Amino acid sequence: MSTVHSISYSLLRHQGMTTIFGNPGSNELPFLRNFPDDFRYILGLHEGVVVGMADGYALASGKPVLVNLHAAAGTGNAMGALTNAWYSHSPLVLTAGQQARPLIGVESMLANVDATQLPKPLVKWSYEPACPGDVPRALSQAIHMASLPARGPVYVSIPYDDWGHDVDADAELLVERDVRSAGAPSDSQLEWFKERLSQAENPVLVLGPEVDACRANHLAVSLAERLSMPAWIAPSAPRCPFPTRHPCFRGVLPASISGVSAKLEGHDLILVIGAPVFRYHQNSPGRYLPAGARLMHLTSDVQEAARCPVGDALVGELEVTLQALLSLLNQSDRKLPEALPVPTPMLDSPGRLAPEVIFDVLNALAPEDTIYVKESTSTVTAFWERVEMRHPGSYYFPASGGLGFGLPAAIGVKLAEPERPVVAVIGDGSANYAISALWSAVQYRLPVIFIILKNDTYGALQWFSRMLDVDDAPGLDIPGMDFCALAKGYGLDAVLADTREAFERALVKGFSADKPLLVEVPTTTIEP
């Protein structure tokens, strides 16, 4: 007879979920017993790193991923990383080992009290099976819940004495089950969108991370060209849904109400696709839209559509809707926008390198299909201006702004996309949130280039302190760190690059290597 353990692994195998990320404790060991040879277990040294790696893997692969956490404490350690997974719509299936059923009620050591409440509100669904026989069905539901639009993390707490229980023959039916979404718009809905677009005299396109997630980038390009629209990236961009040297590309919108309205001034129709409207950051009040403008919103996320403060929305699958919409639209007779000028290369100056120099060198030497995982918040604008990104899945940034994403996510991305070069551009403040991820990169021999931009301060906070008139805030400087020494402690090759030439040599070495490399670069501080 099959057991909860055997059926669960058959279910994961059928769904292609044979890469598991975790940091096991005693409650998780029964699940890991007789670990199948066709599965691989990616170990992280902290649950925040584990979820960060799984997040990167899910974002790059587009597939649900199983994460193995340790009870309440492990879940708590993972919550910071879970904020990014929630806002990036990552289909993570988080499992947490629960204490044996007879010991839960008496709150023994490692019992997860009110387990389903712990990860909320950062999961779509949270559940603890009522009996051992319900575990395979709960896992099946979790996988489908995570994968259906709008995608997102889910959580299942599983008592460790459940895995050895027998299950009846009907449990086998779960293994072959498939659940799909059919979010195609109706003809009348498409006509509604078409009429609004056709009537607009000066429309503008605003694209979000969902476009890149469903690999609809080429459709966004076709739409911009068909209607001769400038194309902006929505504020607080965690992905790159549009090629950055295309004539229609205009950059990333600022993360403030007044800033967005100012940038979109003069447009009578704002078409937002695959983004919330909008992810603001700075408190700079103003009108949501410029005078005379209307907004149309296309998303697969019911919550994003419902909470928008302005505009009309259509909820459906992006790729299908864009394909159908393009088939109805005629070529505009408006002139295509002129491409933005390419920034002049930054010249070297005495002392530390400017981040712009780093990005110019990266742009010149990195292969065109390089994937950038970025977590240097004070250099966002300079990076988008100077680094060309052409292909889908080329850029990942923490979707909620939660630090500790970059180092582990780069590892997960490389595991999912082994044929593409992966470069992690990480600030020195950000790096310390998940520095132990370097150990995993070494152990799995993943040729990722980790670039640490070391300016000895929290650069973005320095900017905010001036903006908020808090110039005397303590705790903004972080001097005295040696990232080359830290890397070598984890077994990682490391290079200090304090000149342009040294950085160029390090990049050439990193791109030709079959193992990870850390490059520490002392830099100046610039504004986001």
Residue 109 confidence class, pLDDT cut points 50, 70, 90: confident
d(C-alpha 296, C-alpha 310), whole Å: 9
- The answer on 134 and 63 residing in a single domain is yes
* Least confident piece of the model among 18-27, 35-44, 457-466: 457-466
CATH number of residue 114's parent domain: 3.40.50.970
- The answer on 265 and 287 residing in a single domain is yes
- Confidence (pLDDT) at 183: 82
- The answer on 168 and 225 residing in a single domain is no
Residue 16 among the catalytic residues: no
First to last CA, the chain: 60
Pairing of strands 19-22, 203-207: unpaired
Residue 28 among the catalytic residues: yes
Residue 70 among the catalytic residues: yes
Instruction: Render pLDDT for 145-159 as a digit per residue (tens, 0 to 9).
Output: 999 999 999 999 999
pLDDT surpassing 90 at residue 144: yes
261: in domain: yes
- Confidence (pLDDT) at 462: 67
200: in domain: yes
- Confidence (pLDDT) at 486: 97
181: in domain: no
Catalytic residue, from 48, 316, 401, 427: name it: 401
- The answer on 431 and 364 residing in a single domain is yes
Query: Taking residues 429-450, what's their average pLDDT?
Result: 97
- The answer on 254 and 121 residing in a single domain is no
Give the amino acid at 248: C
Among 174, 209, 236, the domain-final residue is 174
Q: 254 is in which domain, residue-wise? A: 187-326
What are the DSSP calls for 331-347, one per residue? PP-SPPPPPPPPPPPPP
* Least confident piece of the model among 177-181, 370-374, 497-501: 177-181
- The answer on 213 and 313 residing in a single domain is yes
The whole-model pTM stands at: 0.95
* Least confident piece of the model among 29-33, 284-288, 390-394: 284-288
pLDDT surpassing 70 at residue 97: yes
Among 326, 343, 368, the domain-final residue is 326
CATH number of residue 202's parent domain: 3.40.50.1220
Instruction: Render pLDDT for 252-311 as a digit per residue (tens, 0 to 9).
Output: 999 999 999 999 999 999 999 999 999 998 888 899 999 999 999 999 999 999 999 999
- Confidence (pLDDT) at 140: 97
Query: Taking residues 8-23, what's their average pLDDT?
Result: 97
- Residue 202, classed as helix, strand or coil, is coil
Residue 286 among the catalytic residues: no
Catalytic residue, from 22, 46, 47, 152: name it: 47
pLDDT surpassing 70 at residue 450: yes
- Across the chain, mean pLDDT equals 94
Dihedral sign, CA of 318, 324, 328, 330?
positive
- The answer on 291 and 216 residing in a single domain is yes
d(C-alpha 28, C-alpha 128), whole Å: 15
Residue 436 among the catalytic residues: no
- Confidence (pLDDT) at 188: 94
- The answer on 399 and 508 residing in a single domain is yes
Catalytic residue, from 8, 22, 48, 70: name it: 70
- The answer on 129 and 25 residing in a single domain is yes
Tokens of 155: 């959580």
- Residue 497, classed as helix, strand or coil, is coil
Q: What is the b/e burial string over 275-302, where b = at least 16 CB atoms within 10 angstroms of the residue's CB?
A: bbbbbbeeebeeebbbeebbbbbbbbbe
Q: How far is CA 259 from CA 197, 287, 462, in A?
A: 24, 10, 20
- Confidence (pLDDT) at 347: 87
Catalytic residue, from 26, 108, 198, 349: name it: 26
333: in domain: no
Instruction: Render pLDDT for 457-471 as a digit per residue (tens, 0 to 9).
Output: 776 666 566 766 777
Catalytic residue, from 10, 22, 28, 316: name it: 28
Instruction: Render pLDDT for 206-245 as a digit per residue (tens, 0 to 9).
Output: 999 999 999 999 999 999 999 999 999 999 999 999 999 9
Query: Taking residues 46-66, what's their average pLDDT?
Result: 98
pLDDT surpassing 90 at residue 169: no
- The answer on 273 and 221 residing in a single domain is yes
- Confidence (pLDDT) at 459: 64
- Residue 56 φ/ψ, nearest 5 degrees: -60, -40
- Confidence (pLDDT) at 468: 67
Among 152, 174, 196, the domain-final residue is 174
pLDDT surpassing 80 at residue 474: no
212: in domain: yes
pLDDT surpassing 90 at residue 473: no
- Top pLDDT among 475 and 109 is at 109
Domain count, the chain: 3
Catalytic residue, from 6, 14, 76, 281: name it: 281
- The answer on 426 and 400 residing in a single domain is yes
Residue 391 among the catalytic residues: no
Catalytic residue, from 5, 10, 25, 256: name it: 25
- Confidence (pLDDT) at 464: 60
- Residue 136, classed as helix, strand or coil, is helix
- The answer on 151 and 33 residing in a single domain is yes
- Confidence (pLDDT) at 233: 98
